[in-house]
Copies of this chain bind each other. A is one copy, B any other.
Amino acid sequence: MLYLVGLGLADEKDITVRGLEVVKKAERVYLEAYTAILLVEKEKLEAFYGRPVIVADRELVESGSDEILAGADKADIAFLVVGDPFGATTHTDLVLRAREMGIATKSIPNASIMSGIGCTGLQLYNFGQTVSMVFFTENWKPSSYYDRVKENVQLGLHTLVLLDIKVKEPSLENLARGRIVYEPPRYMTVAQCAAQMLETEKERKEGAWGPDSLAIGAARVGADDQKLVAGTLKELTEVDMGRPLHSLVLLGRKAHDLEKDYIREFAVDAATFEASWQKGYGATS
């Protein structure tokens, strides 16, 4: 059996009791570690589980799935995924491959940022489609996300923006020299995301949002040092939310008063928050 086990959002204790039972009994345990990260090191997981964990990088998962699945027709293999196994990054390809090989699969759900973002007090019912924000470079500033956020904005819905992480990315400079050397990991901050959004709006000029649009920055959802900050996009470009992971929610115009009551506690500046709210938010029904 192939078990896909969700680890939740913050640290080693966010695994479920059922998930921990699977990990303890499995023949091999892989940790998917390139689309999201826990806030603890692999060594801490191993100490908590009382057994070794094999880190599965992108290459292993995408090209070496037969290695992961070897023997899974007879023994149990656990594949650990930060968040939920079918959350922001789905592992449907691994399951499809298992199916082809006649290997049974089972997934152990856990918290995902897609629902964990409810900790902001915003109602998950009021969210439209989720988008991802990649790191812009000098020459590559993809803005296709803009169209999807704009669809949400037009419907008055909130948008969850998931922020890029770069883990074990080969350095282009070194690749050119025929050597594989990895860049240090990078995690997009709320401030970077807000700045990129304003940059895209400047280029698109369709008014989906602007410097006064309200948004919420969320850092380390579910951890003891979880931090939430509400403010205008302009304010958020200057906010320091601390260590990763970060996410951002662009507030939809149909936000309710109950949502407002909850989030204003996190306002960078109560006065600008109130002024921005009065200009463009609040459910009419």
Contacts and interface: CB of A to CB of B under 8 A. Distances in A.
A243 to B, nearest CB: 18
Number of copies: 2
Contact of A126 (B107, B123, B129, B262): B129
A121 B86 CA distance: 7
Contacts of A18: 13-14
A131 interface: yes
A211 interface: no
A82 B121 CA distance: 17
A84 B262 contact: no
A109 B119 contact: yes
Category for how many chain A residues contact B: 35 or more
Interface string A133-168: 000000000000000000100010100000000000
A283 to B, nearest CB: 13
Contacts of A87: 115, 118, 124
A13 B14 CA distance: 13
A86 B129 contact: no
Nearest to A87: B115
Given A90-B121, A115-B114, A261-B96, A129 B128 contact: yes
Contacts of A86: 115-116, 118-121, 124
23 contacts: A13-B16, A13-B17, A14-B109, A15-B16, A16-B16, A84-B111, A86-B115, A86-B118, A86-B119, A90-B123, A90-B124, A96-B261, A107-B119, A109-B111, A109-B115, A112-B118, A124-B130, A125-B129, A125-B132, A126-B129, A128-B128, A128-B129, A129-B157
